[in-house]
A and B are shown apart, each in its own frame.
Chain A
Amino acid sequence: MASKFIALPKGVSEKTFEAAIAEFRSILGQDSVLVTAEQLAPYIKTMMPVPDADHTPSAALQATTVEQIQKIVAVCNKYKVPIWMISTGRNFGYGSAAPAERGQVVLDLKRMNRILEVDPDLCFALVEPGVTYKQLYDYIQEHKYPLWLSCPAPSAIAGPTGNTLDRGVGYTPYGEHFLFACGMEVVLANGEVLRTGMGSLPKSNTWQVFKWGYGPYLDGIFTQSNYGIVTKFGFWLMPAPPAFKPFVIQYENEDDIVEIVETIRPLRISGVIPNAIVIAHALYEAPTKAKRSDYVTGPGAITDDAVRQIMKDHKLGVWNVYAALYGTQEQIDVNWKIVTDAFSKSGKAKVLTEQEAGDDPAFQYRAALMRGDMTLKEFSLYNWRGGGGSMWFAPVSQARGSETLKQMAMTKRILGKYGLDYSGEFIVGMRDMHHIVDVLYDKTDPAMTKAAYQCFDELLTEFSNEGYGTYRVNTAFMDKVAHTYGPVQRHVHETLKKALDPNGILAPGKSGIR
């Protein structure tokens, strides 16, 4: 007999699941509990090189209130039904909106989307998980608040809660998003509602202004984890500066990354350049202007000669350093002199400002991201190979020139072995780099899909052998990455999990935690 459901949670019988679904319906109403193949189709599309069946949900629940979520976890505990929580669910390249394990019920909080507070004096926001950057951007514009957002490249359709809970990054001086988080509300597996920091104090008005509260600081254990369901999220917003000066500095040779990083680090650590600078390879920027098929035919990775030709045809450096200055015009003028003096020493750098590069599509979208404007132009990456295959390979590096060159060369060699291109960038923290590489492949091509899987696996193995860890990863490789951080850390994670979620109902498998 065919099942009523397209998948079942691990260890849950159809009969038990039917009973759980009936209870979910009594909480949410008939229309907010999705079980048919047609209703669940949007949750199944991922960009990972594994069968979609591995990540097919059994159902999706559209909750809109904290009370509903408390009742849902009670049902999950009763029937041992695992749920996978998403906010805006636009986690492309990391697993999208699909659950980590086949059969998990997606708790979809997209419709829980109220902007609860934006304070233009103290410069903070408090939002529900379904709020998108675009929604918040429009709200700020309508109210004429002089505040800027920081968002990742999927800007308009992504949101601050989901992005920060996976510790995502943006490109403004507020680009390290979790660093600027302040106060969370979390529904725990036992149904209790925890407010972190100052939020637990009755009558407090400092939830979004002082992060630590009293005693152990808990916010971090609810990021990249499965210890609770975040239902409110506070974070700080950057005051709009009087002036903004984006610029790009281009270099011609791959080993120039050493000089670039050595030049940038003191400027970044001292705050002369305050934002999350990007050092983007030509192949990361090329898709906004060029087609791969115009330069490459047949299998294999793109050649260095073809990359040179693309650089020439489309006015790209092999490295393109996007950064910006913020403040009054006087502040910008002072810092601009420091920046140009530093970069002009060797004579290798080509410095371009809005005057020279303002019409360039790559410069335009980078400038937009560095001021927290909405643009999805970077999705051009997915057209480079086409076919819907993409995984982010994201090792952490010291902000040291020799290290970045070593990581870049390792990545390019391993990708090349599998016929894939190096589309990478370094996002510059103060002392760290998020080395972000888009492993792009054609998911409609079974052989290339298999190669992409093996390639990603080898990248993780080789990098961890060199002591390089990954900051974030797609759902197909979470266990592998968790192992690279060693048994003691895993054991602590599991101990916390057992204490907070003894029935294992919250997103088992997230970050390898069960």
Chain B
Amino acid sequence: PEPGFQWKDGAEVYAKVCAFCHEAKVGPTIRGRGLAPAYITFIVRHGNRAMPSFRAAEIDDESLARVAEYVSKAAANQ
């Protein structure tokens, strides 16, 4: 069968998943804080209190590494 949806890059994961909370005052701002990729990865996989966890089936390990890198290096929100 033809392949299904796959993430293009970290920016796409951020825009289509994370931003719905982290750019909307639901979750805290995470861009521009220099958060460590390892920390981001841990929180995404385990969840954290009000924040849900995300499975590898949703954000595969490689895409998670890319979004963690994207967030850790991103400039602050406008």
Contact = CB atoms under 8 A, between A and B. Distances in A.
Interface of A: 34, 38-39, 41-45, 60, 62, 64-65, 88-90, 92, 96-97, 108, 110-114, 128, 130-131, 134-135, 138, 156-157, 361, 374-377, 379-380, 382-383, 386-388, 443-444
B76 interface: no
Given A42-B46, A375-B24, A386-B49, 16 more contacts: A38-B45, A41-B53, A42-B55, A45-B52, A60-B55, A62-B56, A89-B57, A92-B52, A112-B4, A114-B4, A134-B16, A156-B16, A379-B21, A380-B25, A383-B26, A388-B48
B50 A387 contact: yes
B20 A110 contact: no
B34 interface: no
Contact of B46 (A41, A130, A386): A41
A377 B46 contact: no
A374 B4 contact: no
Interface of B: 1-5, 16-17, 20-21, 24-26, 45-58
15 contacts: A38-B45, A39-B56, A42-B46, A42-B47, A44-B53, A92-B52, A134-B16, A156-B20, A157-B17, A157-B58, A375-B24, A377-B24, A386-B50, A388-B48, A443-B49
B30 to A, nearest CB: 15
Contact of A156 (B4, B17, B54): B17
B50 A383 contact: yes
Contacts of B26: 376-377, 379-380, 383
B55 A90 contact: no
A413 B24 CA distance: 33
A375 B20 contact: yes
B47 A108 contact: no
A43 B49 contact: no
Contacts of A375: 20, 24
Nearest to A442: B49
A96 B49 contact: no
Nearest to A111: B57
Contacts of B46: 41-42, 45
B53 A45 contact: yes
B47 A388 contact: yes
Contacts of B48: 388
Contacts of A60: 55, 57
A113 B5 contact: yes
Given A64-B4, A113-B5, A114-B1, A387 B49 contact: yes
B8 to A, nearest CB: 12
User: Which of B1, B24, B26, B54 gathers most chain A CB within 10 Å?
Assistant: B26
B35 to A, nearest CB: 19
Nearest to B16: A134
A34 B56 contact: yes
B20 to A, nearest CB: 4
